[in-house]
Amino acid sequence: MGTDAAATTAGKVVWHTTMSLDGFIAGPGDSMDWALRADLGPTEAGTAMIRDTGAILAGRRWYDMSLTRPDWAPYGGSWQGPVFVLTHRPPAPPPGSQVAFVSGEIRDAVATARTAAAGRDVVVFGPTVAQACLDADVLDEILVHVVPVLLGDGVRLFARPGADRPVQLQRTALAESGQLTDLRFEVTRR
């Protein structure tokens, strides 16, 4: 298996996520240990995503979970830039932090992140924010790292009970790196 479209295009809104083979992006109790195994090193697609990222747009739950790790930093500290966290309960920003808290319409939050990204990609973290971006028709791509584990329960990649029609995607890249399988898709709308 090889990469059939390694190059990335700047200026997109990209949902970047890790997923278990059975479709969960977090395990029971929001656990992420399964995705942070030492043997699941950075992949070429992940490294390229970090290189192309100009801003991160994330949800408050992701932020709160991230803070439980003592060494919190986006992408393990290998990336520096503005992080916009959507929340209805904004705390005081940590002094000197790259984090800003935002609320309101998802389109406005994406526009704020786009401006900060200055022509590079906006990366979306968390399924709630990603689904809001899909609903607002502002999500361009999805990059998924598939981890060879079956979790059985947790937070699903995507759930829309009663959905009347699927979200159509077109695969633009397929690659493997060690035990990880990378899949990149373009959202082709509905």
Ligand X SMILES: NC(=O)c1ccc[n+]([C@@H]2O[C@H](COP(=O)([O-])OP(=O)(O)OC[C@H]3O[C@@H](n4cnc5c(N)ncnc54)[C@H](OP(=O)(O)O)[C@@H]3O)[C@@H](O)[C@H]2O)c1
Q: Which residues bind ligand X (CB under 6 A)?
A: 17-18, 25-26, 30, 32, 35, 58-62, 65, 86-89, 103-104, 106, 125-129, 132, 155
Distance CA 77, CA 98 (A): 12
The SS3 assignment for 17 reads strand
Q: Give the contacts of 95 (CB within 8 A, at least 6 positions apart).
A: none
User: Which residue number is nearest to ligand X in terms of Cβ?
Assistant: 59
Nearer to ligand X, 106 or 138 (CB): 106
**Alpha-carbon separation of residue 144 from 63, 78, 90, 112, 185 (angstroms):** 20, 19, 29, 24, 9
Cβ 135 to ligand X, closest distance in Å?
11
Cβ 96 to ligand X, closest distance in Å?
23
Nearer to ligand X, 54 or 59 (CB): 59
Cβ 24 to ligand X, closest distance in Å?
8
Task: Give the ranges where the chain is alpha helix by DSSP (H).
Answer: 44-52, 60-67, 106-117, 127-135
User: Quick one: CA torsion of 108, 113, 116, 117, rounded to 10 degrees?
Assistant: -140
Nearer to ligand X, 30 or 176 (CB): 30
Cβ 61 to ligand X, closest distance in Å?
3
Query: Do 180 and 52 meet the contact criterion of CB atoms below 8 Å apart?
Result: no
Cβ 64 to ligand X, closest distance in Å?
8
Nearer to ligand X, 8 or 17 (CB): 17
Distance CA 108, CA 7 (A): 28
Cβ 56 to ligand X, closest distance in Å?
10
Distance CA 85, CA 154 (A): 22
Nearer to ligand X, 4 or 105 (CB): 105
Nearer to ligand X, 2 or 16 (CB): 16
